[in-house]
Amino acid sequence: MMLMRRVIAGLLLLPVVWMLKIDVNDVDSIHEAQALVAKGLMDYYNGNDSGGTPGMFQSPYYWWEAGVAWGTLLDYVYYTGNDTYKDLVKTSLLYQRGENNDYMPENQTSVEGNDDQAFWGITVMAAAENNFTNPEGDYPGWLYLAQAVFNTMAARWETGSCNGGLRWQIYTWNSGYSYKNAVSNGSLFNIGARLARYTGNDSYVEWCEKVWDWSEDVSFVNHTLGADSLSIYDGADMSQNCSDIKKLEWTYNYGLYLSGAAFLYNYTEDRKWLARVEHVWNRAKVFFHDGKIMYEAACQPSNGCNNDQRSFKGIFSRLLGLTMKMAPTMHDQIREKLVSSAYGAAQSCSGGTDGHTCGLNWFYDGWDGMYGLGEQISALDLFNTLLIDEQHAPLTDRTGGSSKGDGSAGTKSKGPEGVSALDIETKDIAGASVITAVVLIVMLASTWWLIF
**Residue 181's CATH number:** 1.50.10.20
**Domain-embedded: residue 434:** no
Give the tens place of pLDDT for each residue, 149-208: 999 999 999 999 999 999 999 999 999 999 999 999 999 999 999 999 999 999 999 999
Check whether 421 has a pLDDT greater than 60.
no
CA 129 from centroid of its chain's CA atoms:
14
**Domain-embedded: residue 427:** no
**Domain-embedded: residue 132:** yes
Check whether 432 has a pLDDT greater than 50.
no
Domain tally, the chain: 1
**Domain-embedded: residue 438:** no
HSE value, Cβ hemisphere, 13 Å, CA-based, for 32: 12
The pLDDT value recorded for residue 18 is 57
How far apart are the C-alpha atoms of 322 and 258, rounded to whole Å? 9
Check whether 445 has a pLDDT greater than 50.
no
How far apart are the C-alpha atoms of 171 and 157, rounded to whole Å? 14
Helix (H) or strand (E) holding 236, with range, is: strand 235-237
Give the tens place of pLDDT for each residue, 257-292: 999 999 999 999 999 999 999 999 999 999 999 999
Assessment of whether the complete model's pTM goes beyond 0.85 = yes
β strands within 353-395, DSSP E: none
The pLDDT value recorded for residue 109 is 83
Give the tens place of pLDDT for each residue, 395-412: 999 999 999 999 999 987
Cβ-Cβ contacts under 8 Å for 412 (sequence gap 6 or more): 100, 419, 420, 422
**Domain-embedded: residue 82:** yes
147: containing domain: 37-393
Check whether 123 has a pLDDT greater than 60.
yes
**Domain-embedded: residue 285:** yes
**What single string gives the DSSP state of each residue in 29-95?**
HHHHHHHHHHHHHHTTB-TTSTT--TTPBPTT--HHHHHHHHHHHHHHHHHH---TTHHHHHHHHHH
First to last CA, the chain: 40
**Domain-embedded: residue 127:** yes
The pLDDT value recorded for residue 446 is 42
**Averaged pLDDT of the chain:** 90
**Domain-embedded: residue 8:** no
Look up residue 351 and give its DSSP letter.
B
